[in-house]
């Protein structure tokens, strides 16, 4: 998927072309809504020892779908004074975010536009994060982040924190966090991210598999995947530790024959950190400058 800066660049220009008065601060929130589950997954895996990483991945897959992104958009927009307009802005940017994600090549990944009715992944597979289109979008995003933070940074934001808003928002947020537990069978049956293949350890010999951004160690000739498992990889002529995407076939229960691979660089992760930090700083400045008005009347 494109990094956060790339999303900021494209989504801001598209949104502003449709509605020139749209506040960049809200556009920025819409740029990251579908990524919230993946951010929470990283935090949970790092802070909670013994986390069931497969279940955590399934949970994030479900929450990152368009359907659940719209639920989260609904919960957030209920706290805004102009909740209808903010919901449309967040919902539209959630859809645009997922469509942009689908443009990049991710062999073991994709987006869910029709879940929970279909758990088949959508991916147009046009370019890698390390190719020119991604670099251009990233540069555009950095420029847009700076310019529109200055232009819209102090535009007033009006929240409506009342009982009639808080209770529905809490209920909708509860749906966002609890309902995914009912849908684990969907992405598992569809073998999203090859989870069904990976977990069937006794019968995966001879089956095709792909991994997105695994950590390869040439010293042990192993790749560490999202489940925490380390698999032996044959046919991979690499001499340095690298983050790679890999397509292969299980030659044994714990051995994968590499068919093709792609080496990633750290720019995507760095650009996402810059984008997320910029969005956080944008909202902090708005709060400190008292540009966020709260209505607390009950």
Note the pLDDT tens digit of each residue in 8-45: 999 999 999 999 999 999 999 999 999 999 999 999 99
Average pLDDT over residues 250-256: 95
Same-domain check for residues 183 and 240: no
Same domain, 169 and 71: yes
Same domain, 100 and 69: yes
The enclosing domain of 237 has a CATH number of: 2.40.50.140
Separation of alpha carbons 98 and 65, rounded Å: 8
Nearest to 240 by CA among 272, 265, 212: 265
157-191: pLDDT as tens digits = 999 999 999 999 999 999 999 999 999 999 999 99
pLDDT above 70 covers what percent of the chain? Answer: 99
Number of domains in the chain: 2
B/e letters for 152-172, b = 16+ CB within 10 Å, e = fewer, are bbeeebebbeeeebeeebeeb
Note the pLDDT of residue 296.
Answer: 61
Question: What's the whole-model pTM score?
Answer: 0.95
Check whether residue 152 and residue 248 sit in a common domain: no
The C-alpha angle with vertex 221 and arms to 215 and 224, in degrees rounded to 5, equals 30
pLDDT tens by residue, 84-108: 999 999 999 999 999 999 999 999 8
Give the pLDDT confidence score for residue 178 in this predicted structure.
Answer: 98
For residues 207 and 199, give the distance between their C-alpha atoms in angstroms, rounded to a whole number.
Answer: 12
Mean pLDDT of the residues in the chain: 96
Do 78 and 127 lie in one domain? The reply is: yes
- C-alpha angle 137/142/148, rounded to 5°? 115
Same domain, 169 and 270: yes
Question: In terms of domains, do 226 and 291 share one?
Answer: no
Query: What tokens were used for 211?
Result: 């991994």
In 155-266, where does DSSP find H-type helix?
Answer: 163-178, 185-189, 195-199
Mean pLDDT to the nearest integer, 219-245: 96
Per the structure, the complete domain to which residue 223 belongs is given by 202-264
Residues pairing with 243 in the sheet = 215, 264
Mean local confidence (pLDDT), 116-138: 97
Do 290 and 257 lie in one domain? The reply is: no
Residues 240 and 123 in one domain: no
Is the domain of 123 the same as that of 148?
yes
Answer whether residue 298 shows pLDDT above 60. no
């Amino acid at each position: 998927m494109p990094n956060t800066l790339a999303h900021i660049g494209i989504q801001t220009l598209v949104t502003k072309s449709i509605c020139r008065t749209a506040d960049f601060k809200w556009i920025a929130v819409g740029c990251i809504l579908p990524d919230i589950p993946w951010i929470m997954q990283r935090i949970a895996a790092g802070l909670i020892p013994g986390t069931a990483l497969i279940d955590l991945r399934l949970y994030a897959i479900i929450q990152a779908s368009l359907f659940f992104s719209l639920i989260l958009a609904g919960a957030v927009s209920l706290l805004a004074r102009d909740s209808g307009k903010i919901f449309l802005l967040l919902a539209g940017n959630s859809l645009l975010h997922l469509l942009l994600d689908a443009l990049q090549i991710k062999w073991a990944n994709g987006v869910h536009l029709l879940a929970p009715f279909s758990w088949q992944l959508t991916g147009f597979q046009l370019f890698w994060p390390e190719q020119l289109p991604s670099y251009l979008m990233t540069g555009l995003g950095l420029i847009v982040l700076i310019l529109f933070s200055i232009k819209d940074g102090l535009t007033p934001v009006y929240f409506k924190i009342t009982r009639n808003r808080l209770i529905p928002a809490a209920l909708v947020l509860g749906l966002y966090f609890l309902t995914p537990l009912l849908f684990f069978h969907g992405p598992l049956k569809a073998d999203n991210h090859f989870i069904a293949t990976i977990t069937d350890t006794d019968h995966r010999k001879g089956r095709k598999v792909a991994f997105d951004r695994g950590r390869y160690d040439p010293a042990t000739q192993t790749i560490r995947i999202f489940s925490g498992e380390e698999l032996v990889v044959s046919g991979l002529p690499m001499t340095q530790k690298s983050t790679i995407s890999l397509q292969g076939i299980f030659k044994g229960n714990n051995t994968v024959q590499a068919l093709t691979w792609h080496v990633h660089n750290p720019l995507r992760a760095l650009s996402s950190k810059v984008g997320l930090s910029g969005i956080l700083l944008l909202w902090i400045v708005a709060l400190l400058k008292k540009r966020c008005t709260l209505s607390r009347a009950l």
